[in-house]
Chains A and B, each alone.
Chain A
Amino acid sequence: MKRYVAIWLRHLLVDRVLLTRPELEGKPFVLATRERNRVVVEASSRDALKLGIEAGMVLADARAVQPDLEVLDYDLALPEKLLRALAEWAIRYSPLVAVDLPDGLILDATGCAHLWGSEAAYLKDIATRLKSSGYDVRTAMADTIGTAWAVTRYSRSFPIIAPGEQLSALLPLPPHALRLEAPVIEKMQKLGLYQIKSFIHMPPSVLRRRFGQTTLDQIGKALGTIHEAFEPVRPAEPYHERLSSLEPIQTAAGIEIAIQKLLEKLCERLVKDGKGARQAVLRCYRIDGEIQQVQIGTSGPSCSASHMFKLFELRVASIEPALGIELFVMEAPVVEPLANAQEALWDLNSGNKITRIAELIDRLSARAGSGVIHRYLPAQHHWPERAITEATSLTDQPEIEWRTDQHRPVQLLSEPERIIVSAPVPDYPPMLFRYKGDIHRIKKADGPNRIEQEWWIADGLHRDYYAVEDEQGGRYWIFRLGHYNEELTAEWFIHGFFA
């Protein structure tokens, strides 16, 4: 015998809005959407409901009732998304949870309630937990989905319908409780059939002729004579593989074989789902109870077992098997959808090329540590330290062209270094300068080229740059900091070397 729980989240969307925007509490607001050239209210808050603003109303009418009505966008996909998340949460109560659009959940609670002590405690726990998280909720339990659904929405009586008592529970309820189609309900109202008890005992042939087969089916589903399909939500399974060994494994070769096997299984699943791992964790459970863990990261989603194996291979030495490892668990905690193979990068001829380079980068950063790989893009700044920015990924493209008209050195010192110069007159290049004990006599010079600090980024003096060449042909990029000042000796720096 089955037992079902129906959960009705009466103000699902409104409660959700209040959870994310608590400042709307106590204000009338509606969620509205455009429908055939008019804006229609899809859900209204409790305060708006009190004013008579209901779902299905045209927004203009609602505004006439309440001019300062807050209007929010209605997201068509939101109810399903919310319910799905709630359904995954509700798996704590039953392994089988289905989404009941637009505002409910159905739980197959067969054999679950006793874990909470009783059916009443079970229902109470569900209701209090949902209420404490801010949702207006009503629950009911019955032998059939139909009856449980009807009791949540249309009954004020005790919500637990004892086994086999569906009929007596349904009798006083309106025909809406049978989840009938709108025209059928309208017809019943016209005929004065305001309660289920006024037609449920009619012969089936009469009901079929008057209201159609679906009405009979719905009655059957509510009473339990017809089976109702139930489609439970499946939570996304984590990418997780395990391999237990018959004998404890102690050797590096054995660990490598285990890693290879696990990665093959994991990658098979990833490929099937069109996903790639960004991170993979290997946990080795030793027989003495310790857990050894190694982790790798990739620069792009990868589903290549051989590539990930290479990354793990570098870490195998850090695993201490001690007396032996009895269980290996491989997990991919971070996965991303695989980019299309066609996705062109740097107009490379083959997409294969970029994956090979990404794999190379992964190997390099796996061994030498993160933060060793740099790629630069041009930035719209003249200040030399800011003229390049670091690219965040391999696929970043420069937004502006690299400038070749600016004379910039091929070697740049990370910090400009102080030099001693003798310069003839202001704004002329120096005649000679001393750098690291050597005196360089300047033969030729270009400049000055003044580069200002960008005041909106940093404070500081401007730099007057000169490109100079000495007798030996060495070319340097030197600058004077700030204006020439008679009282103070000007500060000169060397910043780079030209080729």
Chain B
Amino acid sequence: METALKKSELVARLRSDILALQGFRAPALGVKHDDFGLGPVMKAFPQGVFPRVGMHEFISESAEQTAATSGFMAALAGKMMKQDGLCVWVGTRRTVYPFGLSQFGVSPDRVIFVDLKKDKDLLWAIEEALKCDALSVVVGEIKELNLTESRRLQLTVEESKVTGLLHRVSPRLSNPIAAVCRWRISPLPGVEDQILPGIGFPRWQVQIEKVRNGEPGSWPLEFRDGTFELTSDSVSFHQYVSKVG
């Protein structure tokens, strides 16, 4: 009994050590971590802490998903930038409307858009931006990248502690990349019998397909007054567990 307890303690300690080595810091006692207003999604992350030091991969297939993903990324970036942070948004054919970002808690004048002309400059520009630790977050819109390239970005992030959000719009193949988390955000239709007219708050099906050392899942969320909340109707609520490393 006693040895079993010791063993489980040992395993727990080893696990936290491994997490620390992989760039996740355990929530220190008394230190309040940014919860990003993500609510139920936080449970998916190792030890319930949003992995700041890492690349997050977002995949979208259609124009609607792209818009939803942009909004979700903007909301996340807004949480990371707080009051005085800065964001660099790298892409080639940008359709993001800076004015629209203000609804997601981002002051658009704090976002520096890098609109590159050539695709081959993308990776280099994202890496350069990630190296600059004066930034809070870097958003990169890139279609294809392979494991080696993403590993390079991940290493840069671990060095500089700048969070990277990679948005892959309709990639040819969703090959595994060295990201801590793979997200898929799709728009959700509003509640059918709503009393109030109009389209209401942004609603998304937030799906974490892969998360390193965490539990993937899927949640219907609504972005309301700067926080993410579970939508009131849990009809589409569907959490599945799959073993994905």
Contact = CB atoms under 8 A, between A and B. Distances in A.
Interface stretch (A18-26, A60-68, A76-84, A363-371): A363-371
A470 B189 CA distance: 7
A349 B84 contact: yes
B70 interface: yes
B128 A360 contact: yes
A375 B112 contact: yes
A408 B102 CA distance: 9
Contacts of B72: 499
A220 interface: no
A460 B87 CA distance: 36
Contacts of B74: 410, 499
Nearest to B113: A374
Interface stretch (A122-130, A275-283, A319-327, A471-479): A471-479
A133 interface: no
A445 B199 contact: yes
B159 to A, nearest CB: 14
A411 B86 contact: no
B109 A375 contact: yes
Interface string B84-122: 101010000001111111111001111111111110010
Given A409-B67, A410-B97, A497-B64, A363 B128 contact: yes
B109 A361 contact: no
A468 interface: yes
Contacts of A347: 83-84
A496 interface: yes
A376 interface: yes
A414 B187 CA distance: 22
Interface stretch (B18-26, B30-38, B129-137, B143-151): B129-137
Interface residues on B, range: 35 or more
A367 B62 CA distance: 32
Contacts of B132: 356-357, 359-360
A360 B118 contact: no
A347 B83 CA distance: 9
B235 interface: no
Contacts of B111: 375-376
Given A374-B113, A402-B108, A410 B70 contact: yes
Given A360-B129, A444-B199, A411 B67 contact: yes
Nearest to A442: B199
B117 A369 contact: yes
Nearest to B205: A473
Contacts of A384: 97, 99
A412 B97 contact: yes
A469 B70 CA distance: 17
B118 A475 contact: no
A341 interface: no
Given A467-B199, A475-B199, A388 B66 contact: no
Nearest to A476: B64
A357 B86 contact: yes
A361 B112 CA distance: 9
B73 to A, nearest CB: 9
Given A411-B95, A499-B70, 4 more contacts: A348-B84, A411-B66, A411-B70, A499-B104
7 contacts: A364-B128, A374-B112, A411-B63, A444-B194, A474-B62, A475-B67, A498-B67
Interface of B: 62-64, 66-68, 70-72, 74, 83-84, 86, 88, 95-104, 107-118, 121, 124-125, 128-129, 131-135, 186-190, 194, 197-200, 202-204, 223
Of all A-B residue pairs in the complex, the 3 with the closest CB atoms, nearest first, are A499-B71, A497-B67, A474-B64
